[in-house]
Amino acid sequence: MYDLIIIGGGPGGVAAGVYAARKKIKTLIITDGFGGQSAVSGEIQNWIGTESISGYDLAKSLEAHLRAQTDIDIVDDDLVAGVQKKDNGLPGAGFSVATRNGKRYETKYVLVVSGSRRKKLGVPGEKEFDGKGVVYCSTCDAPLFAGKTVAVVGGGNSALESVVDSLPYAAKIYLIIRSEVLRGDPVTQDKIKNDPKVTILWNTMIEEVKGKEMVSGVRIKDVKTGEEKELPLDGVFVEIGLLPNSDFAKDLVKLEEHGHIMVDTKTMATSCPGIWAVGDVTDVLYRQNNISVGDAVKAVLNIYDHIKKS
Amino acid sequence: MKKVTIYSTPTCFYCHAAKDFFAENNIAYEEHNVAADTKAREEMFAKSHQMGVPVIDVDGEIIVGFDKKMLTDLLVPVK
């Protein structure tokens, strides 16, 4: 039986793993890969201590730091499917963690750092054209639309950065946003607002993705007037936000209305004794790599205090 | 030895991961940058019927994305 199972291998999960190993807490970390959501980022400029680093290099350095620890077990090709209380929830009995690959592990404490996944548009044609013009990774695929017309959907930093990723390549870029307010950083907003390639379509939503073998257009709707029209294009970059990966724990811990795990900001404890949570999966106010790392350290030190007391 | 070709773009995380996997397992491969090479892009689309990278061709077997398990089965000799 482990003292601690860490669920997730992003910056938060790795920070927790390093601290837990150094405190000699008997730990298992379960993840399907290292680096977290920003692993696919082209360039990260706000990872403190480093002027600029690619998502790939950040992921590699996180993995290396974790693997350099001597006292931690690592499963790097599995996902947690469920967590249950042992002995019908007898205090101190711990938890049973089941994985997608059919494994089962037992632990006293659990730290959930499972992050978020991309929200999908949920419109007809989106699934059919995934990989055929509908794109969820602009850093990977922006170069493939050189000389073409693309639409980026969303109003936050991810959407703005997708526009920036496409500027050197696309002939024309539409930014489709369902409100009248861009939420991303002013620095990035300025970059795109002044570029003649970019047209911002305010108060607009995509109703359908259309095409034959590849995407040839979208049907858009003005959310204020209800007016619909066809927009010919070659690519759709979906950057409309994230959903927390909290499904496997929803029967044990309290979630807020969007599915984020509610946590105490001082200790990162959840509503269930013995389970802590950190990072984008929680109801933390701000979602940043630097924050996840700090909060993961908090959680492990609090878990360590619990271990010492018991 | 199987012929391995990877279609990639310079900023693609999974393309890097695939190339690391080849290096770790001493697998020789040919790389085509589909961001720069339109002909390679068309070739990739003809082989995989989609535009996501990486596309890995192992002796004609087409793998879309970095499928570590499948690549291991195809390329790493069982010890």
* pLDDT tens per residue, range A211-233: 998 999 999 999 999 999 999 99
CATH of the domain at B24: 3.40.30.10
pLDDT along chain B (79 residues), means of 10: 92 89 95 91 91 92 92 88
Please tell me the distance in Å from A254's CA to the nearest CA on chain B. Answer: 34
Please tell me the distance in Å from B43's CA to the nearest CA on chain A. Answer: 13
The domains located in chain A, with CATH, are 2-117+242-309 (3.50.50.60), 120-238 (3.50.50.60)
| Residue A189 · residue A215 · CB < 8 Å | no
Identify the closest residue of chain A to B9 by CA–CA distance.
A140
- In this complex, the residue of B49, B53, B64 whose CB is nearest that of residue A140 is B53
Chain A contact residues (CB < 8 Å to B): 35, 39-40, 42, 54-56, 59, 77, 131-133, 135, 137, 139-141, 143-144, 146, 169, 213-214
Q: Domains in chain B: how many in total?
A: 1
User: How confident is the model over A89-137, as pLDDT tens digits?
Assistant: 888 899 999 999 999 999 999 999 999 999 999 999 999 998 899 998 8
Please tell me the distance in Å from A141's CA to the nearest CA on chain B. Answer: 7
Please tell me the distance in Å from B52's CA to the nearest CA on chain A. Answer: 5
Report the residue of A140, A165, A169 to disrupt the B interface, i.e. the one with the largest count of B CBs within 10 Å.
Answer: A140
3-state secondary structure chain A: CEEEEEECCCHHHHHHHHHHHHCCCCEEEECCCCCCHHHHCCCECCCCCCCCECHHHHHHHHHHHHHCCCCCEEECCCCEEEEEEHHHHCCCCCEEEEECCCCEEEEEEEEECCCEEECCCCCCCCCCCECCCEECCHHHHHHHHCCCEEEEECCCHHHHHHHHHHCCCCCEEEEECCCCCCCCCHHHHHHHHCCCCEEEECCEEEEEEEECCCEEEEEEEECCCCCEEEEECCEEEECCCEEECCHHHCCCCCECCCCCECCCCCCCECCCCCEEECHHHECCCCCCHHHHHHHHHHHHHHHHHHHHHC
Contacts of A77 in chain B (CB under 8 A): 68
Range list of β-strands (E), chain A: 2-7, 27-30, 73-75, 80-85, 95-99, 104-112, 116-118, 134-135, 149-153, 172-176, 198-201, 204-211, 215-222, 228-232, 235-238, 242-244, 275-277
pTM to 2 decimal places: 0.83
> pLDDT at position A207, please?
97
* Domain assignment of residue B71, given as a range: 4-75
- In this complex, the residue of B35, B50, B64 whose CB is nearest that of residue A143 is B35
- In this complex, the residue of B10, B13, B52 whose CB is nearest that of residue A40 is B13
B34 touches chain A (CB under 8 A): yes
> pLDDT at position A92, please?
85
Identify the closest residue of chain B to A235 by CA–CA distance.
B51
Per-residue pLDDT of chain A (310 residues; tens, 9 = 90+): 999 999 999 999 999 999 999 999 999 999 999 999 988 877 788 899 999 998 889 999 999 999 999 999 999 999 999 999 998 888 889 999 999 999 999 999 999 999 999 999 999 999 999 889 999 888 778 888 989 999 999 999 889 989 999 999 999 999 999 999 999 889 889 989 999 999 999 999 999 999 998 999 999 999 999 999 999 999 999 999 889 999 999 999 999 999 999 999 999 999 999 999 999 999 999 999 999 999 999 999 999 999 999 8
Q: What number is the ipTM of this complex?
A: 0.71
| Collapsed DSSP state (helix, strand, coil) of residue A111 | strand
